[in-house]
């Protein structure tokens, strides 16, 4: 088996392939160009996109050249795959902003030094915007049947639930297939990689290239990742795990990986780090907590750099030390005037945005889950006073995993 496909499988990335044997032969003979698309529906990607990013890195590792397609055009339509309702239509300004920011994030993960494997960034708005509709229908539309399009899961689910599916969204699969054709013609792109929910769209592209250009192209998909708990990868109760530092600090990103479920740790070391598969098998002597720290360090270093990774680890060690006040923690500011008016522990927790309801804060207090400067607060009427602050800050903790520094100004 080809080395790229072998590692792709060993790391757990493999789900489906259109013609695996033929693809393996081609990869053995030459270096190819492959693409992965990212729609620009938000100003940042989150860790739900990280597996696709790791696939781009793996392509580079094995000498292949990745194309990163930013869906400036398809974002204007909305991908119905895996969605049970129509996406909000974004403005032109929002899409352009999102596209630029996502490109900056992806550049952090990819190697730009080697000319042979340097990523190519493209925006499908460049060719989709100039399509002449009648000509497009005659040249491309004739290769798609309504019968087949109705069999795709993204369409069937909406129709079965009697949820609306706009004609605009229905066209998405044709445009994604056209993207593959465009890249095949102009960039000699022979492979598209995507999540398993994209299988139908990818196969459409492979078929279109065969019908339109009489060339063979390939599709490769990755599994959709769920946590051992059953939750969806990428989001927590506190919100999305963003890859943009403006939306999620390096420390919080580190903490997300440090708090990985014990059952997921070894799998995630294969998925989301550059540690070799053989090395991950040799880590059995390390404790689960050591493996979690290793996972947190490697993933954070990849996105934010080694300095930020080490800093996050240091802050975490300090935070979990019983005699520590957490001076290096992420912080929020509290105006001294609020103390004069009086602020109790319930209001402080809500001010820190740890919880939204007072009843939930009371429940946490009863469960002895709230601490000020490592001291458990058992009285819901506890008032925050100047003497609680040391050097104008205090540490507020909820349970073992949520901590913040509150600084007086």
Distance CA 106, CA 36 (A): 12
What is the 8-class DSSP label of residue 3? H
User: How high is the pLDDT of residue 181?
Assistant: 97
User: How high is the pLDDT of residue 79?
Assistant: 54
Q: With respect to CATH, is domain 331-408 assigned 3.50.50.60?
A: no
Is residue 225 within 8 A of residue 54, CB to CB? The reply is no
User: How high is the pLDDT of residue 270?
Assistant: 96
What is the 8-class DSSP label of residue 384? P
Distance CA 75, CA 79 (A): 7
CA angle 225, 108, 316 (to 5 degrees): 70
pLDDT of 109 over the 90 cut: yes
Beta bridge partners of 181: none
Distance CA 405, CA 373 (A): 9
Contacts of residue 12, Cβ cutoff 8 Å, sequence gap at least 6: 223, 267, 270, 271
Mean pLDDT of 167-189: 89
392-405 pLDDT per residue, tens: 778 888 887 788 88
pTM beyond 0.85: the answer is no
Mean pLDDT of 164-180: 81
Distance CA 101, CA 104 (A): 5
Mean pLDDT of 352-375: 87
- Identify which has the larger pLDDT, 9 or 163: 9
User: How high is the pLDDT of residue 132?
Assistant: 80
Confidence of residue 87 (pLDDT cuts 50, 70, 90): low
Is residue 250 within 8 A of residue 311, CB to CB? The reply is yes
Mean pLDDT of 300-326: 80
Mean pLDDT of 29-54: 95
Beta strands in 56-179 (DSSP E): 65-71, 120-123
User: How high is the pLDDT of residue 273?
Assistant: 97
What is the 8-class DSSP label of residue 383? B
Tell me the DSSP string of 16-27: EESSHHHHHHHH
Query: Does an H or E element contain 202, and which?
Result: helix 199-213
Give 141-147 contacts, CB < 8 A, sequence gap 24+.
141/174, 143/207, 143/208, 143/211, 143/212, 144/173, 144/174, 144/177, 144/204
- Sign of the torsion formed by the C-alpha atoms of 152, 155, 161 and 162: negative
Is residue 121 within 8 A of residue 56, CB to CB? The reply is no
Mean pLDDT of 68-78: 87
User: How high is the pLDDT of residue 36?
Assistant: 98
Beta strands in 88-232 (DSSP E): 120-123, 189-195, 218-222
Looking at the domain that runs over 3-222, which CATH code has it been given?
Answer: 3.40.50.620
Beta strands in 119-251 (DSSP E): 120-123, 189-195, 218-222, 235-236, 239-240
- Identify which has the larger pLDDT, 309 or 163: 309
At the topology level of CATH, where does 249-319 sit? Tyrosyl-Transfer RNA Synthetase (1.10.240)
Distance CA 67, CA 120 (A): 5
Mean pLDDT of 346-364: 88
Please state the domain extents for the chain: 3-222, 249-319, 331-408
Confidence of residue 183 (pLDDT cuts 50, 70, 90): very high
User: How high is the pLDDT of residue 338?
Assistant: 80
């Amino acid at each position: 088996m080809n080395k790229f496909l072998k590692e792709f499988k060993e790391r757990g990335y493999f789900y489906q392939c259109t013609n695996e044997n033929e693809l393996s032969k081609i990869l053995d003979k030459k270096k190819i160009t492959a693409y992965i698309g990212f729609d620009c529906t938000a100003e940042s990607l989150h860790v739900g996109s990280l597996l696709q990013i790791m696939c781009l890195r793996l392509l580079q590792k094995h000498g292949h050249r990745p194309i990163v397609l930013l869906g400036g055009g398809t974002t204007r339509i909305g991908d119905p795959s895996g969605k049970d309702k129509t996406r909000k239509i974004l403005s032109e300004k929002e899409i352009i902003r999102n596209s630029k920011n996502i490109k900056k994030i992806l550049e952090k993960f990819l190697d730009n030094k080697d000319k042979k494997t340097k990523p190519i960034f493209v925006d499908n708005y460049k060719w989709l915007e100039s399509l002449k509709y009648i000509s497009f229908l005659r040249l491309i539309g004739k290769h798609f049947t309504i019968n087949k399009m109705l069999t795709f899961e993204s369409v069937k689910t909406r129709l079965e639930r009697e949820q609306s599916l706009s004609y605009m969204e229905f066209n998405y699969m044709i445009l994604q297939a056209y993207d593959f054709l465009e890249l095949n013609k102009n960039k000699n792109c022979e492979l598209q990689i995507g999540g398993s929910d994209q299988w139908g769209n990818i196969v459409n592209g492979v078929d279109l290239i065969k019908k339109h250009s009489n060339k063979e192209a390939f599709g490769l998909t990755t599994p959709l990742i769920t946590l051992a708990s059953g939750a969806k990868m990428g989001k927590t109760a506190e919100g999305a795990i963003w890859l943009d530092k403006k939306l999620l600090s390096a420390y919080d990103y580190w903490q997300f990986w440090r708090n990985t479920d014990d059952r997921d740790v070894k799998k995630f070391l294969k998925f989301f780090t550059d540690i070799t598969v053989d090395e991950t098998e040799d880590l059995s002597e390390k404790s689960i907590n050591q493996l979690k720290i290793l996972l947190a360090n490697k993933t954070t270093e990849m996105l934010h750099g080694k300095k930020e990774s080490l800093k996050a680890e240091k802050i975490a060690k300090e935070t979990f030390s019983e005699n520590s006040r957490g001076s290096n923690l992420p912080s929020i500011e509290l105006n001294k005037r609020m103390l004069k008016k009086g602020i109790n522990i319930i209001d402080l927790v809500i001010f820190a945005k740890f919880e939204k309801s007072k009843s939930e804060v009371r429940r946490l207090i009863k469960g002895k889950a709230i601490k000020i400067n490592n001291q458990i607060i058992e009285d819901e009427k506890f008032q925050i006073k100047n003497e609680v602050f040391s050097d104008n800050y205090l540490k507020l903790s909820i349970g073992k995993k949520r901590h913040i520094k509150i600084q007086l100004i």
